[in-house]
Structures are given as structure tokens and as C-alpha cells.
Amino acid sequence: MSDVIDLTTSDSEESSIASSDDETRSESSTGSSQSSSSNAAPTSLEKALYSVSESRLRAVASELAAKIPAANLFLEQKLLVKRSAPRWENCLKCGEEFDMEEERASDIEPDDEEGFVDWDENCHGPMDTPANRKQYPENFIWTCCQEVSLADGCVQGVHSGSKARKRARR
């Protein structure tokens, strides 16, 4: 059974909150009429979430975190990495947002559009070989940022976060 975070203090509303799995819905003591109306609530909430301004949404999230310890913990798990650093960063090289806790695979591959223009694999052999990578590095690109293989790939190894990290407290 999945955990449900109760964001209310009312006992009557507690019984109407159900998780998405069928087991929890069948255990609800509110009856079928109330559970069908609770199905409409997420749609209304989703509409409100998408229409509200970012600043108001941030203010509501801050207030929620301050008032409800479970919500604070949930937001910390979703938004922070260990040592209270931001979990989501934009890569300096490719500008793509990435999760600091997740490793992404990246590799070098032949640049089919710019490199090896007249290369025929039936005649010249395969493009992607260690010898060709060494001899023609300008004809290979990183899959993460589409930069030439001579550049440091932004995903191979460690992403480069756009924000400088603060030093640990002493």
C-alpha cells in the first residue's frame, strides 16, 4: 500500500483521501458517492496548479513545508540532494536540466551529418572504431551535448552544474 500524505487536519476529510491503488479505494469508509467526487478533485487541482503563477506556487509550497512536517520531508526528498544542495541543475554545456542524483549515460558517436561525408562502410569499413576515433576526432560528437569529441562531454563523468556549490560548513 502506498503512503498518503494528509494535508488536512479534519478527520472527516481524512477518510475521503485515497491513494491511486484499488486496495485503498475499496477500504475507504466514505462510500462510492464521495469517492467518485474525489476523482474530480485532482483535475481541479491540476488546473489550479497549471494556472497559478510560479511565485504564488512557491509561496504555497513554502507555507506547506513550514506547517506540515511530512510535506517538508516530501519536498526535501524531491528537490534536494544530500547536504541540502539543489537536486536539479542546468548543465553548463548543453543547458539541459538534469538530476544531480542520477547518472546519465553518454557516449561518443560518429557525426553522420558533418563528419565522414563520403565514408562508405562497405568500402572503408565501420566508422566507429578506436582507430578512427583517434585519427578523426573531429568526426565524432558527444550524444549528450552534440559537441565535437575533443571537448569534454558534459555527461561522461560528472555534469557541470550552472550554479557554484557552497563549501561545507566548518
Q: Among all chains, which residue has been given the C-alpha cell 569534454?
A: 152
- Examine the domain organization and report whether 79 and 107 are in the same domain: no
- Examine the domain organization and report whether 106 and 166 are in the same domain: yes
- Examine the domain organization and report whether 68 and 78 are in the same domain: yes
Asked, for residue 37, whether it belongs to a domain, the answer is yes
Q: Cα 64–41–63 angle (5° rounding)?
A: 10
Q: Which of 87, 109, 133 is the last residue of a domain?
A: 87
- Examine the domain organization and report whether 18 and 29 are in the same domain: yes
- What is the tens place of the pLDDT at every residue in 129-148? 888 888 888 888 877 677 77
Q: Domain span at residue 61?
A: 11-87
- What is the tens place of the pLDDT at every residue in 5-23? 656 554 443 333 333 333 3
How many Å apart are CA 9 and CA 82, to the nearest integer? 30
Tell me if 78 sits within 8 A of 87, measured CB to CB. yes
- What is the tens place of the pLDDT at every residue in 70-102? 999 899 888 876 666 677 777 766 677 777 766
Asked, for residue 27, whether it belongs to a domain, the answer is yes
Contacts 24+ apart (CB under 8 A), 102-109: 104/144, 104/155, 104/159, 105/155, 106/142, 106/143, 106/144, 106/153, 106/154, 106/155, 106/156, 107/142, 107/143, 107/156, 108/133, 108/140, 108/141, 108/142, 108/143, 108/149, 108/153, 109/140, 109/141, 109/143
DSSP bridge pairs for 161: 91
| Residue 59 reports pLDDT greater than 70 | yes
| Residue 169 reports pLDDT greater than 60 | no
Q: Is 44 helix (H, G, I), strand (E, B) or coil?
A: helix
Q: Which of 46, 69, 87 is the last residue of a domain?
A: 87
Q: Which of 34, 57, 87 is the last residue of a domain?
A: 87
- Examine the domain organization and report whether 93 and 166 are in the same domain: yes
Mean pLDDT over the full length of the chain: 69
| Residue 111 reports pLDDT greater than 70 | yes
pLDDT of residue 115: 75
- Examine the domain organization and report whether 22 and 96 are in the same domain: no
